[in-house]
Each structure stands twice: as structure tokens, then as C-alpha cells.
Amino acid sequence: MTLQHIKLIILSLIIFQVSLVLAVQPFGANYTEVSSTRATPDAAESIEALAGNVTEININGFSTTQSWQGYFGNVTGTIQLADADDNQMYNWTLASPEGEIYASTSSSISWENIQCLNYSSDGTLSDESGNGGTTSQHGTNLTQLEALFGIEPDDVDGINETFTLLGAGTHDLFYTSNFEFSEGECRSTRVFSNAGMGENDKFEEVLLYEPTTQSVIFTSLIDEDVLGFDGRTHDFEMLVLEDGHGTDTSTTTYYFYVELE
């Protein structure tokens, strides 16, 4: 055997070995929009005014958030064995899949760098490549993110007033692009089920961050046929940021990704 043949064999083995260690990562998700609605304003109630009177009244009402859009629905799909041209050697249909739904304003996420969003990051946007699976230390922080979406620090529907949970007993353990995020490692919230606010292990949503594109990734941990906020069964519910403050009536484009188990 010549030296050239030996080099070719070694190169082939290296290429084969590299192909074996490629991480599983989320794929772009297809969607079908079923409906999009918003709360209907209550009719104004009248009260009589009489000259010379002073009247104490207590007012109770609601306003629609100007910071968040909600998404909910069901998930179907397959786990497949396929080549780069999407030719399938085999697939497994999932009637009620597990995994995660991701939403981001970026269409090109570098999943090998995925991290937990850190409210207290130094905001320098330094290179954090190779730190996937950790918590961001140099990326976008809470102040920068709220300013990007027109949120004031004292707004009751701000980011830190919504994603309040951190630590043991908050979100479940999950995996993204072969990185393990342990229980309660990232900032999270629980979107309402039919039982109302904060039901454990129901509709958990986590904040992730990708430093290369400086992207926040809203991550919904998929549930299987859970009664949702509207009394119907859903596989996921999630909130995403959208600036509707003041005169801003423009929309924000989100790209959806899915990782099924």
C-alpha cells in the first residue's frame, strides 16, 4: 500500500468521524395560521353628574398589552433519517411529539452557540463562540432588550415582570442542539393554562440567547394535549415581544423553529 493510499484512508476516517459528531439542531418549522384575535374593549358605563356634588368612584378596567404577542396551538411532525437533499431513508410519525418550539426575529441562528439569556449581562456583545449551553455573560441584557421594544423600566408588563422564574422548581430540564439546560437554569415563565396563572409543568417558556446574531429566542417546552387558557387542548403556548407603544403600529417578523423528540 502506497503512502498516498494511507493518507486517503486516514482522511476518509477523519471525514467519517466528523460526520458522526454533528449536533442535532432545530429545523425551521412550517405553520398554518388558524386565527388571530384580540380582546374586545368593554363598553363604557355611564354615571350621572349633578352640579355641586362630589362623588367618589372606584374604577376597574383593562387595557391590551403593548409589549407582547401570544401564540398557541398544536404540533405534529416526524423524526426522520435523511440525507442533505432531504431524501428520507426512514421516518417516524409523531402524533403527540415532545421537544421545543423556538421563535426569534433572526432567520439564521447559530445553534452551536445557544445560551440562557442573562438579565445582568454586561451588554458588550463580545464574541461568546464556544460557550454554548451556558449563560450569556457579554450579550444583550435586560435594559438593552426592553429599550429595543419600547418598554419602560416601571412597565407592569415588562420582560422581568413576565419572565420572573429562575432556579430549581421552575422550568423542566430540556435539550437544544445537544446542549443540556438543567431544571431552572434559564429565565422562564408559565403561560396560563385553563387553571390560570403559573400551573407547575404546564406551558413553560424559556428565554434563550444566541450571541453571534445577538438574537433572543423564545422557547416553548412542548406539552402533550394540555388544557390551555381558552379551555381547549394545546401542545404549546408562548409569548413573544412586539413593540406597540405610542404611534408604533408596525409588525415584527418572527421565524419559528422546532426540535422534536
Which residues span the domain enclosing 91?
A: 64-260
Residue 156 lies in a domain: yes
User: To which residue does cell 379551555 refer?
Assistant: 231
Query: pLDDT tens digit string along 199-214?
Result: 788 999 999 999 999 9
Does the residue 45 lie in any domain?
no
User: How many structural domains are present in the chain?
Assistant: 1
Q: Is residue 205 part of a domain?
A: yes
Residue 36 located in a structural domain: no
Examine residue 91 and state whether it is found in any structural domain, yes or no.
Answer: yes
pLDDT tens, position by position, 109-162: 999 999 999 999 999 988 888 899 999 999 999 999 999 999 999 999 999 999
Find where cell 451588554 sits. 123
Question: What does the alpha-carbon distance between residue 237 and residue 72 come to, in Å, rounded to a whole number?
Answer: 4
Is 218 within the bounds of a domain? yes
Average pLDDT of the chain, as a whole number? 88
Give domain status of residue 144, yes or no: yes
Contacting residues for 189 by C-beta, under 8 A, at least 6 apart: 162, 163, 164, 165, 204, 205, 239
pTM, entire model: 0.85
Neighbours of 177 (CB within 10 A): 17
